[in-house]
Amino acid sequence: MRIALLAPLVSPIAPPFLGGAQAILYDLARSLTDHGHDVTLYAAAGSDIPGVQMVSTGIDSATLAGYQVQPQQLSRSTQRPEETPMARAFAHIYDLIARNAAEYDLVHAHAWDWAAFAYARRQPLPVVHTLHLPALDPLILDALASTAPAHGAPVRLVTVSRACAATYAPRARIDAVIYDGVDVDRMPANLIWGATYYLLYAGRISPEKGVFDAIRIAGRAKRPLVIAGPIYDQAYFDERVTPYLDRADTGVTYFGAVTRERLWDLMANAEAQLCPIQWDEPFGLTACEAQATGTPVIGYARGGLREVVDSGRTGWLVAPGQVDQAAEAVGQAQTLDRHACREWIERRFRLDAMTEAYLRFYDETLGMSRV
């Protein structure tokens, strides 16, 4: 199969990754290639996936930094959506794909931007969109409503959890739920409890991810906290994180954006990973990765995290905002079986399983286009 992958444009697709969507796209591209398929990536300059063909789009992600999605701070600009730099970037990419359409069977888009959906029919190929975020933006919902295959090649929608799919009803039909997958075989496993551990927060630094609550939970549990991830919202970091860093009375350390290998090592040696999310998490990739290393997850029962964590067996999910309950759960973390954490991910969230599910969905989509 010949697949054109369309990436989010706010950062290159190369480690260290800005977020889970970028990491999943990187892994999927490599896995599809390993399965014998021909993969071409359309992405911002600086993207690099070994074994995957890159198209030089000429797009500098730094010029689009102001258009990063801030899920809790969506604002309606007075600027028409088709006049934004992001829209012009996607128009350019879809025109590139159209000129090379004979080289591909379909397009698989991973970008969550209005133009990525609105301009999908600028080229003649079937399009699969994976929605890595819940239904937040009215403009995007309007664009999704127009993707029904009334004529020509189908445009079909996938999302990454049942919880995320539910946020789109009834405005848009989700054609499939395909869980993200992790390359368990590449990840270290620490399956034996030791004497002392730290807690870990892993992920982008932005309000919806709940790093401030992670600091509060660690403080009440009297555990040191390691924070690893890129700063997505600098003002939030300065206000909510910086005051607690490198102080003896807080035990909070910020490692910055680290490589995946370093992140997995941090996960494997943590007592628990904290995921006190402040929104309906679409999936929970870092929670999935932590469990794969044998580390339980403690967080809030919201969104897709309820599908990723087997609460009571591979971690605990407490009611949203219940910092004290989460801190109490930290004290029970070592009663859990680290083997069970890894086995849970091996059974349900392997990279190969995700890849094979997408290949089946591609086949189904191509069958529709030939009818």
pLDDT for the residue numbered 67? 59
Does domain 184-348 fall under CATH 3.90.1580.10? My reply is: no
Q: Which pLDDT band, with edges at 50, 70 and 90, does 73 fall under? A: very low
In sequence order, the 6+-apart residues with CB closer than 8 A to the CB of 350 are 181, 182, 184
Note the pLDDT tens digit of each residue in 306-360: 999 999 999 999 999 999 999 999 999 999 999 999 999 999 999 999 999 999 9
Q: Which pLDDT band, with edges at 50, 70 and 90, does 150 fall under? A: very low
Q: Does position 77 have pLDDT exceeding 80, yes or no?
A: no
What average pLDDT is seen over the chain? 92
Same fold, 2-181+350-370 and 184-348: yes
Q: Does position 76 have pLDDT exceeding 60, yes or no?
A: no
CATH topology of domain 2-181+350-370: Rossmann fold (3.40.50)
DSSP label at 62?
Answer: G
Region 53-64: mean pLDDT is 90
Lowest mean pLDDT among 114-118, 140-144, 273-277, 363-367: 140-144
Q: Does position 371 have pLDDT exceeding 80, yes or no?
A: no
The model carries a pTM of: 0.93
Region 20-31: mean pLDDT is 95
Note the pLDDT tens digit of each residue in 294-320: 999 999 999 999 999 999 999 999 999
Q: Is the peptide bond before 170 cis (omega within 30 degrees of 0)?
A: yes
**Domain ranges for the chain:** 2-181+350-370, 184-348
Looking at residue 263, its amino acid is L
